[in-house]
Amino acid sequence: MMRSSRRLGFTLIELLVVIAIIAVLIGLLLPAVQKVREAANRMSCQNNLKQIALAAHNYHDAYQSLPPGTNGVNPPGAGTPGTSNFTWTYPWFGVLAYLLPYVEQDNIYKGFTSAYANAGYPSPFDTNNYKTGNGAVPNWWSFNPPFTLAQTRIKNFLCPSDDPYQSAFGNGTFIVYAANATTLYLNGGYYGNPTGDLLGRTNYAGCAGALDFGSDAFYGRYAGLLTNRSHITLGQSTARDGTANTLFFGETLGGSSTGTRDFSTCWMAGSMPTAWGLPEPSAWYTFSSRHSGVVQFAYGDGSVRGVKRGATGGAGAFSSNDWIVLMEMSGWQDGGNRPTDSLTN
């Protein structure tokens, strides 16, 4: 009988060569896979922003005006945060809370309404309350069940490229943003717990323009569509700068975009000003995102576009052309018509 000379399997050298080839192929494919994943995340984020903008349009259809950026101190320009003539004794419901029925979160909306009614207070969602209400109404974080309802996780309020729940937030989660036009002072009230808190977080905020409260000769012209106790109509915006030219909602990390996360933002927090530009790295008081080089914004007409990071932040930003362009994009009645090509993509 003759023995077969066929050899079964690989030699050690051949096996090592195959492993090395596979490792090289994985190394080549990994960046492509990551790029595809980020592209998908960015599209999902765009869809979230578009749905939020459309929800605001549906609110407008129901109440004949856009919702307020927040339901805070009244009159809107009264007091600077941190001084004796300023108080947190107002509902401080942010704009996303007003949109709950239009993003399939009607149960949370009804829970807030019944909680204030049972406590003997008018509903913060009542248009008369945020347009003209002057009476003291408890803020939402001061009693239950509103505080518990604000702990709900809402998927459509989260960008898939970020996870604001990933860290133990030693410094806290912002529950309200409050600015004053005269000093451009921004105070972010936050709930802090060294072991982390349970508040429902968001990557999106309304655009308050260059300021949130009141007005002054310079910054007042750049007021956004969503400010404290605002009730602007789409018709007003269309007649002035145009909804397609005005920022509506944008992305935010609620903290620094580099290093360990320092803060996050609760979806009850409301609108943010754009006066500090889009610096890189970002801060808790600026719009920001995890997308490479860009922060995505929904415009007043519901379209979604990216605005470049870095060009409008840092030293000298307040006098740069890019900063002025960003302010014109964020204001709804400033009349600015500078080209935006340098900032958008």
Task: List, as one string, the DSSP characters of 61-107.
Answer: HHHSSPPPSB--SSSTT---TTSTT----S---BHHHHTGGGGT-HH
Q: What is the dihedral of CA 210, 211, 212, 216, to 10 degrees?
A: -140
Q: Has residue 340 been placed in a domain?
A: no
pLDDT digit string, tens, across residues 318-345: 667 888 899 999 999 988 888 888 888 6
Cα 222 to Cα 329: distance, rounded to the nearest angstrom: 9
In a domain, 9, yes or no: no
Note the pLDDT tens digit of each residue in 213-259: 445 567 778 889 998 888 999 999 999 999 999 999 999 998 888 87
pTM to 2 decimal places: 0.85
Residue 240 lies in a domain: yes
Domain count, the chain: 1
Pairing verdict, β 204-207 and 247-251: antiparallel
Is residue 7 in a domain?
no
Q: Is 1 within the bounds of a domain?
A: no
pLDDT in tens, 118-129: 999 888 898 877
Whole-number pLDDT of residue 165: 83
Q: Evaluate whether residue 231 is within a structural domain.
A: yes
Domain containing residue 51? 14-330
Tell me how far apart the alpha carbons of residues 280 and 255 are, in angstroms, rounded to a whole number: 12
Residue 24 inside a domain? The answer is yes
337 within a domain of the structure (yes/no):
no
